[in-house]
Amino acid sequence: MRGVLFLTPREAGPYPLSAIRPILATACLALFSCATDAVTRAEHAELLASLRALRTENARLETRVDRLESEKKVVVSRSASAAATTTARENARASSSPDAPSSSGALPPLTVVKLKPRKEAAPKLETNVEIAEPPEPITQEIKDGAPPDDADLAMAEAQFDRGLEMMKTGNSEAGVAQMQQFVNDWPRHPRADNAIYFSGMAFFAAKDFEHALQSFERVIAQYPAGDAVLDSMLKLADCRMKLKGPREARATWEKIVATYPGTAAATQAQARLHSSSQTPVASP
């Protein structure tokens, strides 16, 4: 190489070996430090990227929790208002009904009306209709086969809030168990899909991507009209990427963009498609 001069200790001129050896040792240490510093910088950059991603995910989850809490307040307020309105209407109907007994205790006059049956024949009913089983989400019945009353709804809300609070405080395992019990007890509750979604997020945070993938797939299959479907589809694609399935992840992102255009989820899916296209996918 031009401009580089290599000297052996004997060719170092008038300098003694005791002076040359520290210089050589210092040069070797400097080269080693440069290599170590490059690796440290790369690890530092990777940690910063992971930290930014965690902060973004945490902010999104906090926003979702705040929205659910606001919806809860609205539902409770509407339930109380509807109950008060129903009670007032029933009282007004009872007081204004002509069949209600008067203050004097006398019964109102009754009129006898005779109804004559019609002579026309009853219409024929079509009997060759194919019978089909309803889809699984519709066949899920409310607990005990009866609509829940206000006490049951309050108990369900408390059960959901306990599970969410456990997850917030770091007790993910107990929180997931609480959410799964909530879904088993109240499969048609408006928050059932959110309970499964939060369970999947807990599995994802614990790097249990297999169980997380199953949770997100369950939300999409059983609650297609729920408000957790789009978030579940995004996280489902993330699970597939973690499980070395980039083709399946891209297919999920493309489905979001094609099916839900103009939504925030479609924007995120489009960005992830663009980012993943920079990395070639190995053929199976």
Instruction: For residue 46, tell me if it sits in a domain.
Output: yes
Instruction: For residue 17, tell me if it sits in a domain.
Output: yes
* The pLDDT value given to residue 200: 92
> Which two structure tokens, joined as six digits, stand for 141?
């019945």
Half-sphere exposure of residue 152: CA atoms within 13 angstroms, side-chain side: 12
Nearest to 213 by CA among 234, 183, 190, 240: 240
Instruction: For residue 5, tell me if it sits in a domain.
Output: yes
SS3 136: helix
Instruction: For residue 23, tell me if it sits in a domain.
Output: yes
pTM here?
Answer: 0.49
Instruction: For residue 171, tell me if it sits in a domain.
Output: no
The one-digit pLDDT tens for each residue of the chain (284 residues) are 444 444 454 554 555 555 556 655 565 555 555 555 665 778 888 888 888 888 888 888 888 888 888 888 888 877 777 777 777 777 766 665 555 555 455 666 777 777 766 666 656 655 554 544 444 444 444 444 555 566 778 888 888 999 889 988 888 899 899 999 999 998 989 899 999 999 999 999 999 999 999 999 999 999 988 889 999 999 999 999 899 888 999 999 999 999 999 999 999 999 988 888 766 544 43
**Contact call for residues 24 and 9 (beta carbons, < 8 A):** no
Instruction: For residue 69, tell me if it sits in a domain.
Output: no
CA distance 180 to 162: 12
> Which two structure tokens, joined as six digits, stand for 100?
């209600």
**Contact call for residues 217 and 199 (beta carbons, < 8 A):** no
Instruction: For residue 116, tell me if it sits in a domain.
Output: no
Domain count, the chain: 1
Q: Domain containing 33: what range?
A: 1-52
Instruction: For residue 97, tell me if it sits in a domain.
Output: no
> Which two structure tokens, joined as six digits, stand for 191?
């928050």
For residue 109, what are the contacts with CB-CB under 8 A and spacing of at least 6?
Answer: none
Give burial (CB, 10 Å; 0-12/13-18/19+) of 152. middle
* The pLDDT value given to residue 16: 55
